[in-house]
Chains A and B, each alone.
Chain A
Amino acid sequence: ETGVTQTPRHLVMGMTNKKSLKCEQHLGHNAMYWYKQSAKKPLELMFVYNFKEQTENNSVPSRFSPECPNSSHLFLHLHTLQPEDSALYLCASSQEFGRNEQFFGPGTRLTVL
């Protein structure tokens, strides 16, 4: 058990749906991250939050909208996604922003039809 939980674990949605992914960390960390893992591609950093403030948006399309209401919770709101957005979405946290070991959640397997 890593101390980082994600829900749902699996999600199937149509291109016109709106859904949200949730991440919660129980480690007392101050930084949280969203990554995308597609088949045959390296993990891609999407967003970074430090003390609830977004510090990095790695050129992610606006159909992905992150929200960090506090340092323990992170959401990824999804709308009008494309089939190529199907992937494993991983949440991670670290003690402090930058240069710290990151701990990953189990991921949400997203399929866009």
Chain B
Amino acid sequence: ELKVEQNPLFLSMQEGKNYTIYCNYSTTSDRLYWYRQDPGKSLESLFVLLSNGAVKQEGRLMASLDTKARLSTLHITAAVHDLSATYFCAVDPSGYALNFGKGTSLLVTP
């Protein structure tokens, strides 16, 4: 059974600080997705990582993928309140279904 584990599941951080969210998965997958969900809203695609060593950056967020370690990271630089949301990673090893982690609820405080 495929497992996708995110940690931490809850994260409270101060504005201006840096932090990393980790996503581990249990089976081979050469692509990984990061999504953001605001309360009561749908999932917004953030990054699609398509190969080992892929790194993508958008604003204060940077995602990377290590397929050998079955690990992706989402790094937050100099957090701001607008980044408060739940972040999900998902893998698609079989080619037909996204398997999601439980999500990391991020709260950025002044």
Q: Is B102 an interface residue (CB 8 A)?
A: yes
Q: Which of A11-19, A70-78, A79-87, A100-108 is found at the contact surface with chain B?
A: A100-108
Q: Are B100 and A43 in contact (CB under 8 A)?
A: yes
The interface residues of chain A, by DSSP majority, are classed as loop
Contact across chains for A2 and B101 when beta carbons are under 8 A apart: no
> B78-98: contact bitstring with A at CB < 8 Å (1 yes, 0 no)?
000000000010101011111
Taking a contact as CB atoms under 8 Å apart, the answer to whether A41 and B102 are in contact is yes
Interface size of A in residues (CB-CB distance below 8 Å): 24
| Contact status A99-B97, CB under 8 Å | no
B45 touches A99 (CB 8 A): no
Contacts of A4 on B, CB cut-off 8 Å? 42
**Which one of A48, A58, A99 has the highest number of Cβ atoms from chain B below 10 Å of its Cβ?**
A99
Instruction: Known A45-B97, A45-B98, A98-B92; judge A2-B44 contact (CB<8 A).
Output: yes
Instruction: Verify if B43 is at the interface (C-beta below 8 Å from A).
Output: yes
What is the CA–CA distance of A48 and B96 in the complex, to the nearest angstrom?
8
Residues of chain A within 8 A of B102, CB atoms compared = 40-42
**CB within 8 A of B42: which of A41, A56, A90, A98?**
A90
Using a CB-CB cutoff of 8 Å, which residues 33-90 of chain B contact chain A? 33, 35, 40-45, 48, 88, 90
B21 / chain A contacts, CB cutoff of 8 Å? none
* A15→B70 CA distance, assembly (Å): 43
- In the assembled complex, the Cα of A40 lies from the Cα of B99 at a distance in Å of 15
Residues of B close to A45: CB separation below 8 A:
97-99
B96 contacts A106, C-beta separation under 8 Å: no
Measured CA separation A102–B31 after assembly (Å):
13
Pair B42/A105 contact, Cβ less than 8 Å: yes
Q: Which residue of A lies closest to B35 (CB)?
A: A104
Are the C-beta atoms of B92 and A56 separated by less than 8 Å? no
**In the complex, how many angstroms separate the beta carbon of A56 from the nearest chain B beta carbon?**
6
> A97 interface residue, CB < 8 Å from B?
yes
- Chain B CB within 8 A of A55 CB: yes
Given contacts A42-B4, A99-B92, contact A107 B42 (CB under 8 A): yes
